[in-house]
């Protein structure tokens, strides 16, 4: 967990990263580790997103950890436990009742961007559209 209080600024920053990822404006890219993605921001700032074992140590799908760094220095690492009690439905929409869903959606969209899956689907879809005319 983050070793500092999660205040309004951190929540606002996390929300921007989430929305930026869904819009595809954050340039996530794959790494040599399939469970980790990275994205440059500007200058020495960058993000990493990692699949981690379930934080409640259950036999459940993985959790995720988001970190912000400057060069090799990690500024903070956040996971769903840091946001317990935060009303993401109000901030992001109805379907985000659980923080897990927010992190899961962040991972899926970052993964799609990093592997260029959406781009490929759009290209193939447009090829098929032409053929089907």
Residue 87 near other proteins by CB under 8 A? no
Stretch that binds other proteins, among 5-13, 69-77, 94-102, 117-125 (CB under 8 A): 69-77
Residue 31 near other proteins by CB under 8 A? yes
Integer Cα distance of 104 and 106 in angstroms: 5
Integer Cα distance of 97 and 85 in angstroms: 10
Residue 41 near other proteins by CB under 8 A? yes
Beta strands in 16-103 (DSSP E): 29-30, 36-40, 45-52, 63-70, 73-79
* List of residues contacting other proteins (CB under 8 A): 29-34, 36, 38, 40-46, 48, 69, 71-72
């Amino acid at each position: 967990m983050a070793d500092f209080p999660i205040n309004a600024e951190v929540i606002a920053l996390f929300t921007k990263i989430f929305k930026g990822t869904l819009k595809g404006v954050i340039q996530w890219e794959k790494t040599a580790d399939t469970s980790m993605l990275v994205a440059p921001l500007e200058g020495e700032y960058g993000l990493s997103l990692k699949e981690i074992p379930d934080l409640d140590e259950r036999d459940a799908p993985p959790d995720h950890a988001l970190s912000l760094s400057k060069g090799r220095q990690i500024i903070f690492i956040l996971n769903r436990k840091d946001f317990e009690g935060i009303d993401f439905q109000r901030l992001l929409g109805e379907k985000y009742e659980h923080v897990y869903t927010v992190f899961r959606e962040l991972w899926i969209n970052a993964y799609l961007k990093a592997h260029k899956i959406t781009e490929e689907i759009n290209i193939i879809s447009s090829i098929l559209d032409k053929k089907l005319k």
